[in-house]
Chains A and B, each alone.
Chain A
Amino acid sequence: MADTVASRNGTPAASAAGFVWGYRYGLLLVVLPLLLIAGGKAGFVSNFQFLQLSLMIVYAIAVLGLNLLTGFNGQISLGHGAFFAAGAYTAAILIDQHNWPLWATLPMAALVCFFAGYLFGLPALRLEGHYLALATFALAVAVPQILKYRHLEPITKGVMGINVFKSDPPFGLPLSTDQWMFLVVLAVAAFMFWIARNLLDSRTGRALIAIRDHSMAASTMGINVAHYKAVVFGISALYTGLAGALHGVIFEFVSPDSFRFELSIAILVGAVVGGIASLPGAVIGGVFVQVIEKYADALTKQISAAVQLPLELDPWLIYGIVLIALMYAMPTGIVGGMAVLWRRLKAMRGL
Chain B
Amino acid sequence: MGLCKTLLAGAGALALAATAASAQKKYDEGASDTEIRIGHTNPYSGPASAYGQIGKTIEAYFKMVNDKGGINGRKITFITYDDGYAPPKTVEMVRKLVEEDKVLFVFQTLGTPSNTAIHKYLNGKKVPQLFVATGASVWGKPQEYPWTMGWQPDYQTEGIIYAKHILANVKDPKIAVLMQNDDYGRDYLNGFKRGLGKDADKIVQVATYEVADPNIDSQIIQLKNSGANAFFNITTPKFAALAIKKAHEIGWKPAHYLNNVSASVGSVMKPAGLEASQAIVTAAYLKDPTDPQFQNDADMGTWRAFMDKYYPNGDKTSAFTTYGYAVSSTLAEVLKRAGDNLTRENIMKQAASLKALEVPLLLPGIKINTSPTDFYPIQSVRLQRFEGETWQLFGDVLSNEAD
Contacts and interface: CB of A to CB of B under 8 A. Distances in A.
Asked whether any CB of A lies within 8 Å of a CB of B in the complex, the reply is: yes
A315 B100 contact: no
Nearest to A55: B92
A311 B56 CA distance: 13
A137 to B, nearest CB: 13
Interface residues of B, number: 33
A159 B188 CA distance: 14
Contacts of A158: 186
B227 interface: no
A168 interface: no
Contacts of A148: 181-182
A48 B56 CA distance: 26
A315 B182 CA distance: 26
Interface in B32-90: 44-47, 56, 81-82, 84-88
Interface stretch (B112-120, B277-285, B323-331, B353-361): B112-120
B160 to A, nearest CB: 20
B95 A160 contact: no
A161 B182 contact: no
Nearest to B111: A257
Interface stretch (A15-23, A220-228, A247-255): A247-255
B109 to A, nearest CB: 14
B91 A251 contact: yes
Contact of A314 (B45, B81, B87, B121): B45
B396 interface: no
A163 interface: yes
A3 interface: no
A257 B113 CA distance: 8
A178 B324 CA distance: 35
Nearest to A257: B113
Given A48-B99, A141-B212, A316 B120 contact: no
B14 to A, nearest CB: 40
A258 B45 contact: no
B45 to A, nearest CB: 5
A145 B212 CA distance: 10
Contacts of A160: 112-113, 116, 183, 186
A54 to B, nearest CB: 11
Interface string A251-274: 111010110101100000000000
Looking at B111, B121, B313, the one whose CB has the most chain A CB atoms below 10 A away is B313
B210 interface: yes
Interface of A is mostly: helix
B96 interface: yes
B79 to A, nearest CB: 10
Interface in B90-135: 91-92, 95-96, 99-100, 111-114, 116-117, 120-121
Interface string A298-320: 00000000000011101110000
A251 B88 contact: yes
Nearest to B48: A257
B85 A163 contact: no
Nearest to A52: B92
A167 interface: no
A57 to B, nearest CB: 15
A184 interface: no
Contacts of A159: 113, 181-183, 186
Nearest to A312: B313
A253 B111 CA distance: 14
A293 interface: yes
Nearest to B85: A257
Interface string A48-64: 10010001000000000
Contacts of B313: 310-312
Contacts of A311: 313
B116 to A, nearest CB: 7
A148 B181 CA distance: 8
Contacts of B113: 159-161, 255, 257-258
Interface string A120-137: 000000000000000000
B44 A314 contact: yes
B44 A315 contact: yes
Contact of A161 (B44, B92, B116): B116
A36 to B, nearest CB: 17
A258 B212 CA distance: 15
A160 B111 CA distance: 11
Nearest to B184: A159
Interface in A37-55: 46-48, 51, 55
Q: Return the 10 tightest CB-CB contacts between A and B, nearest first.
A: A253-B117, A48-B99, A255-B113, A251-B88, A159-B182, A159-B183, A257-B113, A258-B87, A251-B91, A258-B88
Interface of A: 46-48, 51, 55, 141, 145, 148, 158-161, 163, 247, 251-253, 255, 257-258, 260, 262-263, 293, 297, 310-312, 314-316
Given A145-B210, A258-B86, A316-B45, 15 more contacts: A48-B95, A51-B95, A160-B186, A161-B87, A161-B117, A163-B116, A251-B87, A252-B117, A252-B121, A257-B113, A260-B46, A260-B47, A260-B86, A293-B84, A315-B82
15 contacts: A48-B96, A48-B99, A55-B92, A160-B112, A160-B113, A247-B88, A251-B92, A251-B117, A253-B91, A257-B113, A262-B86, A310-B313, A311-B313, A312-B313, A314-B45
